[in-house]
Amino acid sequence: MNSPPPRILIIGATSTIAQAVARCYVGQQATFYLVGRAAGKLAIIATDLLARGATTVHTQVLDLNEHAGIESMVQQAGNQLGQIDIALIAHGSLPDQARTEHDLVYALDEFQTNATSMIVCMQAVAQHLAQQRSGVLAVIGSVAGDRGRGSNYLYGAAKAAVATYASGLRARLFREGVHVLVIKPGFVATPMTAHLELPARLVASPEQIAQDIVQAIHHRRDVLYTPHFWWLIMMIIKLIPSVIFNRLRL
């Protein structure tokens, strides 16, 4: 089973989950196009992937809140890679919900990072994949997008926008041979969650999440809950009647 080496675009490549996903593909001599904001970290990740067996690693420093650069970035990635087999959109931040409740500028900034910028990236990548009539677009959403909870609804709303947009994109691109995957991680040990007091048993490692993502990309799944038990947890949370849900501190 010698599948050709995959050509992979990763947007938000310095995120912990993105790094773990990239490492899963080095054994297949993958070629990468990494996009991120922090030039130093991006260069270190590129060197690391090369040492671990990647064939070529291109990098581009870009602030993804600058929407104007996104389309040409995807173009550039397509040119460098020849073709984009897999595109992973992984950037994001975890807003301080309490602050979003009184600081609207901050709230909209966070929404912009976690929803608008993601949508612009999805749109640009989808356009490119549709033209080449192949490829998988994988985007990192969250279980938080499944139902707005009092403790985290700005982030949840942004991730819901991502999931809904991706669902529509998937339906539109179905006939073009392009697939769209929404990844909904639960709690993952990353810098984003480092300051939270999370129940140890529910926190997954980025490596575990990455393996699930690689499988889901391979099998062209529509939606991935990772670890899988989050599917059940979120099903229950979605089914709680509002009268009760409103009284819970979730």
Partner 1 sequence: MALLSSWGRYPDRPQHPHTLYWPDQISPLLQQLHAHTTTLAFGYGRSYGDVCLAASDHVLTTSAMDRVLSVDWTRGIIRAQAGLSLAALLNIVIPHGWFPSVTPGTQWITLGGAVANDVHGKNHHVQGTFGCHVRGLTLYRSDEGFIECSPNLRPELFQATIGGLGLTGIILDVEIQLQAITSDQITQTAIRFATLDDFFDLSAYYSTSHDYTVAWIDCLVRGRDLGRGVFFAGNHADGHDQEHEYTQPSSRHMRIPFTPPLSLVNSVSLRLFNALYYQRHVRPDTCKMHYQPFFYPLDAISHWNRLYGRAGFQQYQCIIPAQHARIVIRAILQTIANSKLGSFLAVLKTFGDMPSPGLLSFPMHGTTLALDFPQGSLTEQLFRRLDIMVHEAGGRLYPAKDAHMSSTHFQQAYPAWTTLEALRDPVLLSHFWQRVTA
- Find the shortest distance in angstroms from Cβ 133 to partner 1: 36
- Find the shortest distance in angstroms from Cβ 167 to partner 1: 32
Q: Is 56 or 132 the residue whose CB approaches partner 1 more closely?
A: 56
Per the CB < 8 A criterion, the answer to whether 91 and 112 are in contact is: no
Q: Is 99 a binder of partner 1 (CB under 8 A)?
A: no
At 30 the three-state DSSP class reads coil
Count of residues in contact with partner 1, rule CB under 8 A? 17
CA 157 → CA 98, 184, 196, distances in Å? 15, 14, 20
Q: Is 48 or 176 the residue whose CB approaches partner 1 more closely?
A: 48
Pairing of strands 56-61, 31-36: parallel
Q: Is 53 or 168 the residue whose CB approaches partner 1 more closely?
A: 53
Question: Using CA atoms, how far apart are residues 28 and 55, in angstroms rounded to an integer?
Answer: 9
Burial of 24 (0-12, 13-18, 19+ CB in 10 A): middle
Q: Is 48 a binder of partner 1 (CB under 8 A)?
A: yes
Stretch touching partner 1 by CB under 8 A, among 46-54, 75-83, 152-160, 163-171: 46-54
Q: Is 189 or 240 the residue whose CB approaches partner 1 more closely?
A: 189
Question: Using CA atoms, how far apart are residues 147 and 173, in angstroms rounded to an integer?
Answer: 26
Indicate which single residue of 1, 98, 200, 244 sits in contact with partner 1 (rule: CB under 8 A): 200
Q: Is 51 a binder of partner 1 (CB under 8 A)?
A: yes
What Rg do the C-alpha atoms of the chain give, in angstroms? 18
Q: Is 95 or 206 the residue whose CB approaches partner 1 more closely?
A: 206
Indicate which single residue of 29, 39, 53, 72 sits in contact with partner 1 (rule: CB under 8 A): 53
| Residue length of the chain | 250
Chain Cα centroid distance, residue 191 = 15
Stretch touching partner 1 by CB under 8 A, among 107-115, 168-176, 185-193, 214-222: 185-193
Q: Is 147 a binder of partner 1 (CB under 8 A)?
A: no
Indicate which single residue of 17, 18, 30, 45 sits in contact with partner 1 (rule: CB under 8 A): 45
Q: Is 46 or 154 the residue whose CB approaches partner 1 more closely?
A: 46
Question: Using CA atoms, how far apart are residues 74 and 218, in angstroms rounded to an integer?
Answer: 22
Q: Is 44 a binder of partner 1 (CB under 8 A)?
A: yes
- According to DSSP, residue 90 is labeled -
Q: Is 7 or 23 the residue whose CB approaches partner 1 more closely?
A: 23
At 139 the three-state DSSP class reads strand
Q: Is 47 a binder of partner 1 (CB under 8 A)?
A: yes
Question: Using CA atoms, how far apart are residues 47 and 41, in angstroms rounded to an integer?
Answer: 10
Per the CB < 8 A criterion, the answer to whether 154 and 104 are in contact is: no
Q: How many CA atoms lie within 13 A of 211 on its CB side?
A: 6
Which residues lie near partner 1 (CB under 8 A)?
16, 41, 44-45, 47-48, 51-53, 189-191, 194, 198, 200, 203, 206
